[in-house]
Amino acid sequence: MMDPKVCIIILNWNGKELLKDCLSSIFKLTDYPNYKVIVVDNGSTDGSVEFVRRNFKKVDILSLDRNYGFSKGNNIGIRYALKKYKPKYVLLLNNDTEIIQRDWLKKLVETAESDEKIGIVGPKLIYPDGTLQHYGLLHLSNLIFPHYIERRPYTNFNMVQRAVLATNGACFMVRTKVIKRYNLFYDEIFAPASYEDIDYFWRLFKLGFVIIQRYDVEIVHKLSLSWNKQVEDFRFWLISRNHFIFLLKHFKRFLLIGILSRFITCIFDKKDERPISLKNIVVRRKFYKKIFILIKALFDAIRIYYFNELL
């Protein structure tokens, strides 16, 4: 059987050192024979474009004139891949990931090829220290409410794969037939970033396609190092705003509950990495500041969703 074409799209913004590890690991370890890597550079100023052109000749690089954000940057890469290479699958991969096993792509394709109803396949993400980072969202409550990802040993998961409501946006492979037939691109209303992947998975799920998380494929994710460069208050505002936009799009009847849950997380926090319990909850310092940010996020979400006022 022919190995179907896979285009791997990596979005980058001032992540030259991250790209070095990510691209090196792909070309060193991937034993799947039919793939193409495309780097979409969001207006980097750290020499990322020159670095890739000099050291990774096989990579197509799209050098954008400015930072278009996560959603639009990836959409540009997807459209480029579909037009130039006509792949059967597109794999979106964060630049802060690292491949650690040779058959990673072969196994993802193997799962997707097993059933036409499978629209997306994602791997298991682990932290650099080997603990489990993301195992897929299984319940509607995970989509509606803010949730914590608990760190736990990945050895606790001995299943090969299972169907989920959402995998992780740091690495997933999507069937291009679904993209073209349903115009399934990232919704740029979530720009610059956050919740566009959850929205993407939910839209595909509502179309009747299956999302599979494959646990015997492990990829290291250094967890949003570029994202962490952003100011904490800005991150909190953006995540909250986009959470409200997601609820307005898909779960209006749960909007009030979602708002209340966000307010609760403004006031209370976990003491440490242990699971949430009464003994592991503490009142945040200066929580009133976060409440003001949250109110702004709610009004901004309403303006964007109802009046298309992108901020």
pLDDT per position as a tens digit, 224-256 = 555 555 568 898 899 999 999 999 999 999 999
Banded pLDDT at 309 (limits 50, 70, 90): low
- 289 & 243 share domain: yes
User: pTM above the 0.85 mark?
Assistant: yes
Where is the domain boundary, 195, 225, 255?
A: 225
Tally of domains within the chain: 2
pLDDT band at 269 (very low <50, low <70, confident <90, very high): confident
Least confident of 149-158, 171-180, 220-229, 251-260: 149-158
DSSP 301: H
Q: What is the mean pLDDT of the chain?
A: 90
In whole angstroms, give the CA distance from residue 78 to residue 179.
9
Q: Are 10 and 39 in contact (CB under 8 A)?
A: yes
Burial class (CB in 10 A: 0-12, 13-18, 19+), 249: middle
| Residue 204 is assigned to a structural domain of this protein | yes
- Residue 174 within any structural domain of the chain: yes
Quick: pLDDT tens for 136-146: 888 888 788 76
Shared domain check, 181 and 52: yes
* 114 & 147 share domain: yes
Does 127 reside within a domain? yes
Residue with the bigger pLDDT between 286 and 105: it is 105
Are 240 and 216 found together in one domain?
Answer: no
Across 17-21, 191-195, 223-227, 236-240, least confident range: 223-227
Together in a domain, 69 and 204: yes
Q: Are residues 221 and 86 in the same domain?
A: yes
Last residue of a domain, one of 174, 191, 225: 225
Task: Mark whether 218 and 274 lie in a shared domain.
Answer: no
CA 84, chain centre distance (Å): 24
**DSSP 3-state helix, strand, coil percentages of the chain (rounded to 5)?**
45, 25, 30
Identify any residues that bridge with 152 across adjacent strands, giving them in sequence order: 132
54-58, 74-78, 149-153, 289-293: which has the minimum mean pLDDT?
A: 149-153
Range of the domain at 52: 6-225
What type of residue is 57? K
The pLDDT score that the predictor gives to residue 281 is 80
Please tell me the predicted confidence (pLDDT) of residue 149. Answer: 47
Higher-confidence residue: 229 or 171? 171
Q: For residues 49 and 12, state if they share a domain.
A: yes
Instruction: For residue 175, tell me if it sits in a domain.
Output: yes
Domain boundary pick from 225, 251, 268: 225
248 and 154 fall within a common domain:
no
pLDDT at position 276 is: 64
Are 37 and 110 in the same domain? yes
CATH number assigned to the domain comprising residue 42: 3.90.550.10
**Residue 106: left if φ>0, alpha if ψ -120 to 50, beta else—which one?**
alpha
Which three-class secondary structure state does DSSP give residue 196?
helix
Q: Span 16-34, mean pLDDT?
A: 97
The residue whose two tokens read 């495309």 is 38
Closest of 179, 295, 172 to residue 236, by C-alpha: 295
Angle at which helix 196-206 crosses helix 232-250, to 10 degrees, equals 20
Quick one: pLDDT at residue 265? 82
Identify whether 1 is part of a domain: no
Same domain, 170 and 270: no
Residues 56 and 148 placed together within one structural domain of the fold: yes
